[in-house]
Structure formats: C-alpha cells, structure tokens
C-alpha cells in the first residue's frame, strides 16, 4: 500500500492525499520519467488530489488539483450513490479551511460549464464568478472575504 502523506478528518469524511503542504505551498509527488515498464506502479488518485472516504473506507468524493492553466485549479466529483447528501460541500469547505490554516496564498480557481449544482457548491464555499470561458463556461475564484467556515 502507498504511503499517505496527509490524512485529516472532517465531520463525516476522512481526507487522504499524497500532496504535502509546506510553507504555504502544495508539494506534489514527483513523477518518475523514463519509468521501467516492469517496475511501473499504477497511478493512485491521492497523487493528484484529495480523496475523501467514509468510516468504512469507501471513496465518497474527490477534489483534484491542477496547476497548468491557473495557479491552483480545483475539479471535483462525487460517487453517484452519494450525491445530494452534502458530501462535496463538506469536502470543499474542509479543504479550503485547511488551505487558509496552512497559509496558502495562491489563488484557487474552478471552471464550471453548465452545471448549476456544481456552481452552487462553489458559491456557498466562497467562490465568486470571475470571467467567461468559451461559449458556456465561467472561471470562479475563491474569495477569502466571502468564505464562511461551515
């Protein structure tokens, strides 16, 4: 089993990730280049984000982190059978609180395209609409002034 670098518990969820937080920055696991195919390990979700489990160790939802288009871009999803129960609201709120506590100063963005439920999750967690993207999308940015810990 892979070593988990970070584990924390919210009210109903256990967050696990191989991403570390150090001096206000996210530190991602190194990806080996020129990997020997015979020794290659499968990628694990904790390498690129934060995975949230219930007390039975079932994956409930995830929040991925990208740094290619924006400083920190979050994407997220909830397993179908757990949708509509407030898990993503709790997970995103928990992660943003952790970012604030750990003094992460980078702007946090999310891109939403025609998904009112997802947009609502962002807005109740302190994101505001920033700019259009393509024909039907919008960038949202986390606004620490709007954030209210739930």
**Structural domain spans, the chain:** 6-29+44-147
Q: Average model confidence (pLDDT) for the chain?
A: 88
pLDDT (0 to 100) of residue 46: 55
Query: What is the spatial distance between Cα 143 and Cα 125, in angstroms, rounded to a whole number?
Result: 9
pLDDT tens track for 51-97: 999 999 999 999 999 988 888 999 999 999 999 999 999 999 999 99
- Interval 10-37 mean pLDDT: 81
pLDDT (0 to 100) of residue 149: 75
Q: What dotted CATH number matches 6-29+44-147?
A: 3.40.630.30
pLDDT (0 to 100) of residue 5: 76
Strand partners, 52: 15, 61
Query: What is the spatial distance between Cα 48 and Cα 62, in angstroms, rounded to a whole number?
Result: 10
Quick one: CA dihedral 10, 125, 103, 18, positive or negative?
positive
Model confidence band, residue 150 (pLDDT cutoffs 50, 70, 90): low
pLDDT (0 to 100) of residue 29: 84
Q: Is pLDDT of 103 > 50?
A: yes
Quick one: CA dihedral 36, 41, 44, 46, positive or negative?
negative
């Amino acid at each position: 089993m892979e070593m988990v670098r970070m584990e924390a518990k919210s009210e109903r969820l256990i967050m696990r990730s191989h991403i570390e937080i150090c001096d206000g920055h996210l530190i991602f696991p190194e990806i080996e280049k020129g990997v020997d195919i015979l020794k290659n390990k499968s990628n694990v979700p904790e390498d690129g984000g934060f995975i949230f489990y219930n007390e039975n160790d079932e994956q409930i939802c995830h929040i991925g982190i990208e740094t290619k288009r924006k400083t920190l871009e979050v994407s997220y999803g909830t397993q179908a059978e757990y949708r509509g129960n407030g898990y993503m609201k709790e997970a995103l709120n928990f992660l943003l609180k952790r970012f604030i506590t750990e003094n992460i100063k980078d702007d946090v963005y999310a891109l939403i395209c025609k998904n009112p439920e997802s947009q609502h999750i962002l807005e109740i967690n302190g994101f505001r609409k920033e700019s259009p993207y393509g024909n039907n999308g919008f960038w949202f940015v986390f606004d620490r002034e709007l954030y209210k810990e739930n």
